Amino acid sequence: MSFDRRSHPLTQRIALALGAALLLTSAAHAAQATQPNEPADVCPALKHIVDAADFKQLHGQAAAQLPGMSNTDDCRANQHAYDCHWRAHWQADGVINDPLEEFGADIAACFPNIVHDVNTPTRQHFIVTTAGRRVNVTASVQGQNELRLRVTR
């Protein structure tokens, strides 16, 4: 649709406004269409767990609940270890098919100071260096689509 210089300025403004509205509507629809397929963000919960001074304090805290876990009752904790079991409810994201590999990739992406020193089909181990301490993070397979997270220091 082209306008020549003789077109009415109001007509031009209406056409531009309709074009902008159509563009925004398309972008909003595209964003909604991709959000349900996005994997859950585990970083906030992992960071909360790793940063905890005493793992026993995490019991019942919503911030320590990993996506896909029904509640933190699936976790055991003492002062130096946090151990959780849950079933992976997410589907493959088109890049990684295996829940353990996906979870391992998420762990690696969450922390700037991390070393990934074990990577097997059943176990992923990381060392996270934080201010003044080293934290071991181990993700492993307990059964089909059942994962275990063990965080120790």
Do 52 and 18 belong together in one domain?
no
Q: Which two tokens stand for residue 81?
A: 């270890």
Do 15 and 87 belong together in one domain?
no
Do 86 and 126 belong together in one domain?
yes
Do 81 and 54 belong together in one domain?
yes
CB 139 within 8 A of CB 104: yes
Do 51 and 17 belong together in one domain?
no
What are the tens digits of pLDDT across the range 102-141?
889 999 999 999 999 999 989 999 999 977 889 999 999 9
Do 53 and 108 belong together in one domain?
yes
pLDDT of amino acid 13: 59
Domain count for the chain: 2
Tokens 């997410």 map to which residue?
90
Reported as type and span, the H/E element at residue 124 is: strand 123-130
Q: Which two tokens stand for residue 87?
A: 């079933």
> How far is CA 31 from its chain centroid?
17
| pTM, entire model | 0.69
Do 6 and 63 belong together in one domain?
no
Do 43 and 5 belong together in one domain?
no
Do 110 and 143 belong together in one domain?
yes
pLDDT bracket for residue 93 (50, 70, 90) = low
Half-sphere exposure of 107 (CA within 13 A, CB side): 31
Do 112 and 52 belong together in one domain?
yes
Parent domain of 27: 1-38
Q: Which residues contact 4 (CB under 8 A, 6 or more apart)?
A: none
In 10 A of CB 24, how many CB atoms?
10
pLDDT of amino acid 7: 55
Do 87 and 26 belong together in one domain?
no
What are the tens digits of pLDDT across the range 30-75?
444 444 445 568 899 999 999 998 899 988 788 888 877 766 567 8
pLDDT of amino acid 56: 92
Q: Which two tokens stand for residue 147?
A: 């994962």
Do 8 and 83 belong together in one domain?
no
What are the tens digits of pLDDT across the range 8-29?
666 565 655 555 444 444 444 4
Reported as type and span, the H/E element at residue 83 is: strand 81-87
